[in-house]
Amino acid sequence: TDTAVGAMLAEARPRSDFVPGRIILVCGNLAPGGAERQVVNTLLGLAGAGLRDIALLAHALNPGPARHDFHLRRLVEAGIPAREIERRVGGLDDPDLPAELRRAGRALPEALLIDIANLVIEFRRARPEIVHAWLDWDCVRAGLAAAIAGVPRIVLSGRNLAPYRFALYKPYMDPAYRGLARLANVHFLNNSRAGAEDYADWIGIARERIRVVHNGIDAADCAPLSE
């Protein structure tokens, strides 16, 4: 799988015709959860800092038992665009499958390659200056897609210890992170020093490569205590 990832990224170069100041955040959904809350806080913070060309792409934003739209209301009220990723590619034989992904052959799961393909199409169409991916699911998918699409700055945000410690771990995460770490335009974040060091040791990069940005708190949500 290292070979497959290497083939996908062999021609990955930052493009020069990006839209300056355009930022896209990518997260699986906005269900109840700490990372999802931080995604929304980040978008609201960017808007509060005067940035206007910002948006969220998610794999699911539907209501229902999973409450994938739990935090969506705050973005809607702030006028920040948020939508599901457009699914244009449905299989590895689809003519819209980017050529870079064909090089991976069958070494990586088909569903993974389809997810990456649809994000490549999104990024090539939007031409963002920055893609900020959250959680391992999208650090892999959006990270690889952004690199293939030539996004100049790619931010991968980890929110815990390295994924191999958890049930969500998939073997393709190792080569994906290693491949992305070789690109100079890929930047790593974590919300704790322990998490940053664990990821760095797992990926095999210098610990200083992963910057720690602790979770923010929206003080406007906190009512002051009475005397």
Distance CA 163, CA 193 (A): 16
In the block, tokens 């792409």 appear at: 57
Residues 207/36, Cβ–Cβ less than 8 Å: no
- Cα angle value 194/186/127 (rounded, 5°): 135
Which secondary-structure segment (H or E) carries 178? Answer: helix 173-181
Q: Which of 42, 2, 1, 3 is nearest to 23 (CA)?
A: 42
pLDDT band, residue 180 (cuts 50/70/90) = very high
Q: What is the pLDDT of residues 79-131, one digit of tens each?
A: 999 999 999 999 999 999 999 999 887 889 999 999 999 999 999 999 999 99
**pLDDT at residue number 213:** 96
Distance CA 118, CA 214 (A): 31
> Residue 34: what residue type?
G
pTM of the model: 0.94
Please tell me the least confidently modeled range out of 27-41, 103-117, 168-182, 210-224: 210-224
Q: Coil, helix or strand for 25?
A: strand
Quote the strand ranges of 67-159, DSSP E. Answer: 82-84, 128-134, 153-158
Q: What is the pLDDT of residues 15-55, one digit of tens each?
A: 999 999 999 999 999 999 999 999 999 999 999 999 999 99
